[in-house]
Amino acid sequence: MIPTTLTPGALLLSLTWGIPTLTIVALALLPAARTRLIRWVSLGSALLNLALVAGLIAAWPAHRPPLGAEVPLAFAARIPWFDQPHITYFVGVDGISLLMMLLAALIAVCGVLVSWRVEARAKEFFIYMQVLLAGVFGCFISFDLFTFFLFNEVTLIPTYLLIGIFGTGRKEYCAMKLNLMLFAGSALVLVGLLGLYYASGLHTFDLYALAKVRFPADFQHWAFPALFLGFGVLGALFPFHTWSPDGHSSAPTAISMFLAGVHMKLGGYGCLRVAMFLLPEGAREWMNVFLVLATINIIYGAFIAVKQTDLKYINAYSSVSHCGLVLFGYAALNFLGVRGAVLQMFSHGLLTALIFAVIGMIYSRTHTRQIGELGGLMTRLPFIGVAFTLAALAGLGLPGLSGFVAELNVFLGAFARTPVLNKVCTVIAILSIVVTAVYLLRTINKVLHGPAQAKDEGLKDADLAERAAIVILLAGVIVMGVWPRAVTALIDGSIEPIVEQLAR
Amino acid sequence: MNLSTAILLLPDALLLLAPFVVLFVDLFFNPRHEARPVLRALSWVLLAVGGALAAALCCGEREVVFLHAYRVTPWMLWFKVCFTGAALVAARMAEGCFAVADGHPARLTRPGEFFTLLAFAAGGMSVTVSALDLITLFIGLEMATIPLYVLSGFYRRHLDSAEGAMKFIIMGSLATAFVLFGYSLLYGATGHLQFSAIAAYLAEHPGDPLVRAAALFIFTAGAFKLALAPFHMWAPDVYQGAPLPVAAFLSTASKAAAAGFLVVLFYGPLAPVRPALAPVFAAFAAATMLVGNLGSLRQTNFRRFMAYSSIAQAGYLLLGFLAEREYAVGALLYFLVVYLTANLAVFFVYATVRGEDVAAVNGLSRTNPALAAVLMLAFFSLAGIPPLAGFNGKFWLFAAAAGAGRYWLVLFAVLNSVVALYYYMNVIRAAYIEPPAADARPVKLPRADALLLFVLVALLLVLALWPAFNRAVFAAAL
């Protein structure tokens, strides 16, 4: 039986969004002029959260429920919240959510580190960033669909302000576009959730109670695409991805990192957790459609990235392509595919954050992101240059780095499915790696190599805070690359129940 | 009648006394006709009403019936909370309009009349929701509306104001005609004015076409009052012409009263007819949301903007009527309280910056960060973004439509909210991203107003997260 009170474990889980919330209060009370203190408070809070998540991961093997448990979550608690409509505050974690929380905590720390030089309206900046963090963490621990949805929506406010106030380029347009498209995606999700609530006959948003219901086929027929598309918008599913290149490119560095690295993953996470887990028949019925869309995502994103000249847009389209791999993995509907997708979420989160961080560092020094105006930076900025190169290599799937592990799983899973369509799509998707290599290597070549430019004389390489951020992210990429078991051991046990449900 | 039932009647008694207290004070203790003494008198009476409401809600009985014509139950008390609160905030807002220098376009004169009428309107609304027969209902509705006609034309020398008031009177009278026609049909069909007798008749003749026609006419009148499309045309003009506090009162208390009027009838004697009217409700809801949201997009005048915004909100509100009574009344009350709170906060901010245009808040986060934060949170609540209570309010109503199986309508409503998010965020953009106007000075906020705004914003958070309120309104409806 899951406790209905705030147990110590549930309290710890709640602290993952509680710490950011308390930080918001603390920051709000600080005078705006004390930017140094504001930065340190933000960093302290991010580190504390990282420590908390690390502790939770360490405690996971001891607390994980036995196989076949009704609710395969650790530290679970289901506290009644509203009676009418029936809503609980149902928190818990499994391997997948722990991995996602680790990703969020890592990128949060790095995000604060790379924002060390933000001076103008720094107080607001860090407050909004904490709101974003609170929303994301809350999402990953929620297993009541209402609270899940609620935390997901919480991220909208800060995103708009962070891009609109602190962004670059056409920031106001991009911020609005991002918000409206994500909100429209939520619209579909909301309809799907209300459908689950009533069609189940249970009048509950409890994920695991709903999982026991066999929803009628005609309900699954419309509810699955509503939910999958709704979350898919956030996961940059073609053709609803257009917000992401604009939004991520115009956001300030730390926010690009967090949005592309973590926030977008909420979409992929929701597709798996809610849409596929609860509506397996719908998933089987519709998956070919989404398989084709995801394939387009992969190949289209890569080709568009080739055409871009702005570093941030290159990476943003590369994200579209790589996030396509997540949905592509789901479409395999088998263990390897889903595992690959989850691994890809983690790997891509680290990589894209790393690349956005590096781009931000280059931009803050050279004041341009156009690859035509850059060149020979390897000699001026060796540390940043090496980090960029490693990230690019990981992105194109070099063995020994994280991207390879994820992509291998995705492709193996996808190819294992019998229908010809799957095999064809897999071949097309694998071919996209060539295109990925084209744009990544070309970018590296243009930006880092060639003759050093005179105007870049005297540029300073990464400072301590920036180095720390790079090292943290790179460490994650390399560890996952050379020791994938560290990650798969965490998630495998939690993927199995989902795959079982898919076969039902 | 013992003490615990009498306490249920106390709020109404005090509220109906309020206009006379104001008149009395103005007549005998206010020789120079200043705003402060009358406002103070009204505020104290309204606070007393609030206290009485609180007492009635926590220690009163479930129901008291007075002279077979008047009834007070917990859910009605919550409506009265809405009216009283809105009147209190609107009165506070109005003080600024009396205080500005002579010649300022926002300047109001003759506070005695103004506050008397405001109190009368609130009293009338209070009577409306408590009515137990058609006559009382009619009296309440008219008592609520007629003072509002006068108030909306209170800028006697402004052409806009006169135009708005005139439109309001004509449209309002038309609505009254519809109500009366509906009543006469109802009386003709059933032979009764008493709700209980009408309900008894309908229990025997559920499919009476005459009653359905009557219900349709009565609903149309409600649609006028609630400014549902296509009967919304008066609202933007009236809001634009009316003094800001009156516009605030119209978009909050008056909406709540109209919703209360519909609840009284369609969850009261006309309940058996409601399922037959469900397609009508759905169509009106869809049209209203669309018209309100699209209408808001291009408005530059703040009050017109808020008029269209509240039209759209009334569209969401109507979704609640698709559900059964046990769920609907609670969801409607929750939505109304939250909507009122957010709307009043928005109006208050504009009253403080004395803005005619939406753009009056440009750069507000630089000139007064606290006020900008209030504006942002209130607009995000109206847009339905958590963790603000507006999110829950909308969610409850959308759930009502989903529970009735109308998923397309839910989708339509949520997509409408996307449009709404756009124009609400545009105001937030103005406050946070636009630079302040060249001649902008720091906006000063009196301490009492700051406290009031703090309470309103805190309510938006507390109501969203603390389940007790939700439980109370849903329990009140049972």
Which tens digits make up the pLDDT trace of A156-207? 889 999 998 888 888 889 999 999 999 999 999 999 999 999 999 889 999 9
**Domain range for A66:** 8-503
Nearest CA distance, B204 vs chain A (angstrom): 32
DSSP secondary structure of A356-411: HHHHHHHHHHHS--BGGG---HHHH-HHHHHHHHHHHHHHTT-TTSHHHHHHHHHH
The residue to which tokens 């809610």 are assigned: A274
Q: Average pLDDT, whole number, for chain A?
A: 91
Cα separation of B385 and B392, whole Å? Answer: 9
- For residues B254-261, average pLDDT: 95
- Taking one residue from A and the other from B, the number of pairs with CB-CB distance under 8 angstroms is 89
- How many domains are there within chain A? 1
The pLDDT > 70 percentage for chain B reads 100
Q: Which residues contact A361 (CB under 8 A, 6 or more apart)?
A: A114, A253, A381, A384, A462, A466
Q: Residue B1 — pLDDT band, cuts 50, 70, 90?
A: low
Q: Which residues pair with residue A127 across a beta bridge? A: none
Cα–Cα dist A176/B380, whole Å: 14
A84 CB neighbours in chain B (<8 A) are 327, 330, 470-471, 474
A83–B474 C-beta distance less than 8 A: yes
pLDDT at A17 over 90: yes
For the CA atoms of B293, A181, A231, A81, what is the dihedral angle to 10 degrees? -50
Residue B107 pLDDT class (50, 70, 90 cuts): confident
Distance CA A99, CA A101 (A): 5
Please compute the mean of the pLDDT values over residues A67-81 and round it to a whole number: 88
Question: Taking residues A249-272, what's their average pLDDT?
Answer: 92
Nearest by CB: B386 against A150, A164, A165: A150
Q: What one-character DSSP code corresponds to residue A78?
A: E
Instruction: Give the confidence band of A23 by pLDDT, cuts at 50, 70, 90.
Output: very high
Q: Per the CB < 8 Å rule, is A150 touching B418?
A: no
pLDDT at B330: 92
* Average pLDDT of the residues in A443-460: 85
Calculate how close chain A gets to B448, using CA atoms only, in Å: 21
What pLDDT does A504 receive?
A: 79
Every domain of chain B and the residues it spans: 3-476
**Interface predicted TM-score (ipTM):** 0.91
Cβ-contact A86, A205 below 8 angstroms: yes
Q: Which of A80, A164, A187 sits opposite B429 (nearest CB)?
A: A164
Question: What residue of A is the nearest CA neighbor of B386?
Answer: A154
Using an 8 Å CB-CB cutoff, list chain B residues near A151.
Answer: 386
CA distance A76 to A94: 10
Q: Give the pLDDT score at A132.
A: 94
As a whole number, mean pLDDT of residues B170-199 equals 93
Q: Is A206 helix (H, G, I), strand (E, B) or coil?
A: strand
